[in-house]
Amino acid sequence: MLDWHKGGGRAPGPGSFGVRFFMMLNWNELEAQCLSCQKCALADKRTNVVFGVGPRDAEVMFIGEAPGKNEDLQGEPFVGAAGKLLNQMLERIGLAREDIYIANILKCRPPGNRDPKPEEIEVCTPWLREQVKAVHPTVLVTMGNFSTKFILQTNTGITRLRGKIHVTGPFRVIPTFHPAAAIYDRSKIGAIEQDFDLIKLLLDTDAAREKAGRDDEEANHD
């Protein structure tokens, strides 16, 4: 399990990337530092750092793997074909892209869209950890193996983990297949729909509890 009280990751330089570094940063400073990051070789060939997008108080936060070609060009996550499918899945459960926060394990595109390397994950995920702590969503949705294994700190693959609600620290986590996987294997769409139904179930349950709490409070004041 991740320790959400820590800054995360091993510091690449003395005092430069650890807990004390992040404690001194507000959101704008965090983003600015990330956009100028040179912590690994991916910085050499990127067009843009893809920090993340969405409201900072979002109830749901989606975490993908890494930027692709379109994301690298535009500086925004999930703007290609995978993003289109993500938008469709959101609409299906009554959410819009503007309602959620989206980020990735890596902030820079790996060459040829290859898998992230362990050392890249190690130096890049402290940014993500701080984003998660700052947004503090009601639900974390991990898309694909890399984000799921990092958030849940497990070696178990996405196929066995999806379809269930997991807990890490203060966060409820719903793993699902990465939308890009469903583009190449349409049989995964049904599974993703089931996972998104879980998201809706959690949000609806939370809303019902909040309403019940407000009703009880109003009744006690009468």
Span 52-77, pLDDT tens digits = 999 999 999 999 999 999 999 999 99
Instruction: Tell whether 201 is covered by a domain.
Output: yes
pLDDT band at 214 (very low <50, low <70, confident <90, very high): confident
Q: How many domains does the chain have?
A: 1
Instruction: Tell whether 3 is covered by a domain.
Output: no
Name the nearest CA neighbour of 129 among 155, 149, 103, 154. Answer: 103
Instruction: Tell whether 1 is covered by a domain.
Output: no
pLDDT band at 7 (very low <50, low <70, confident <90, very high): very low
33 vs 222: CA distance, rounded Å: 52
220 vs 11: CA distance, rounded Å: 52
Name the nearest CA neighbour of 33 among 122, 116, 130. Answer: 130
3-state secondary structure of 182: helix
pLDDT band at 6 (very low <50, low <70, confident <90, very high): low
Span 81-125, pLDDT tens digits = 999 999 999 999 999 999 999 999 999 999 999 999 999 999 999
pLDDT band at 211 (very low <50, low <70, confident <90, very high): confident
Instruction: Tell whether 41 is covered by a domain.
Output: yes
Instruction: Tell whether 206 is covered by a domain.
Output: yes
Domain hosting 202: range is: 19-221
Instruction: Tell whether 112 is covered by a domain.
Output: yes
Residue 84 maps to which CATH number? 3.40.470.10
Instruction: Tell whether 167 is covered by a domain.
Output: yes
Instruction: Tell whether 10 is covered by a domain.
Output: no
Q: What percent of the chain has pLDDT over 90?
A: 82
Q: How far apart are the first and last CA of the chain?
A: 45
Name the nearest CA neighbour of 36 among 158, 23, 195, 25. Answer: 25
Span 97-106, pLDDT tens digits = 999 999 999 9
3-state secondary structure of 213: helix
